[in-house]
Structure 1
Amino acid sequence: MSEKKDEMAEDQAQVEETFEDVLDEAVDELEALRAERDEMRDRFMRALADAENSRKRADRDRREAENYGGSKLARDMLPVFDALKRALEAATDELRAQAGPLIEGVELTQRELLNVFGRHGIKAISPKVGDKFDPLLHEAMFEAPVPGTVAGDIIQVMDDGFQLHDRLLRPAKVGVSSMPKS
């Protein structure tokens, strides 16, 4: 009977040792699965953040394409506006009397071009003589000392500038005073 008891104790010790080995393996496997889960969660969160960033970037690119996609065409149309403006400035009273309908047609064409520009977010930058020079909106074509002006005052406007929404298409071309007021 003691032999049987010893055998039973041995079997029980062997079962306990096997149980502990299985338990250790299960714990190790559980830890490996937790580590894998954490890694997968991290990869998922990164992929989710990348997808959100891509969506935002695509949204921004789409908005910019809508707002600024026509900037090259708009820039190419500016000389047309300049030509119409110069034609109207060159029209004397005598010419207006002789070719009134023609001049009126040029004025209507210029107005319609400005309306089209306005519908597409293009606005003219039209400084006046005496305005302050702004390097963000104006391009100084020359400086000259003009009595009665302050350095940095606009003394002549050669060409209007244009903005497309908040971007500068072309700066206004101006002459600037270099003479301090006395």
Structure 2
Amino acid sequence: MAEQSIWKRGILVGMIGAVTVAVWFLIIDVITGRPLFTPATLGSAIFLGVEDLDQVEVSAVVVLGYTVVHLVAFILLGLLVLAITRRARKTPPLVLGALLVFVVLQALFIGLLAIAAQFLLGAIAWWSIAVGNLLAGLAMGYFIWQKDPSLREAVRREPFNRKH
């Protein structure tokens, strides 16, 4: 795979994750009668230093600003995930390690959110964060699995439960 297509695929993987999470929270926000409240809350915390739900600003600038941060974070994650899966072609059990890292990062993210911006957990339920990130991980993983036949072949050749 050419270097340019590695970058393109990593960016695409990240965008798949970002859109998945954004759509998940848009659904949650619409169901609760507060469209765009989640990105507005996170954007208000990041850009305006808001520490109370009453101060959240639901505006195009705040929502778009947070959307850029969200997208960049997921693109970086997509590039990391793609790098791990490329290595997993040679060492398939790395996929299990990546899953463990995902679980640990989930717990770390929710824990840091609880410590740094406790008011956010009043507005955004921890389970909705976990579900959104799980959906993103599944969407990203499915895309990679479908587009990378050499990874599938490596996993078939060297199953995780082998005995030495």
Q: How does the TM-score come out when normalised to structure 1?
A: 0.26
More strand by share: 1
- The structure that has the greater radius of gyration is 1
Q: How does the TM-score come out when normalised to structure 2?
A: 0.28
More helix by share: 2
* Larger relative contact order, structure 1 or 2 (CA cutoff 8 Å, min sep 6): 2
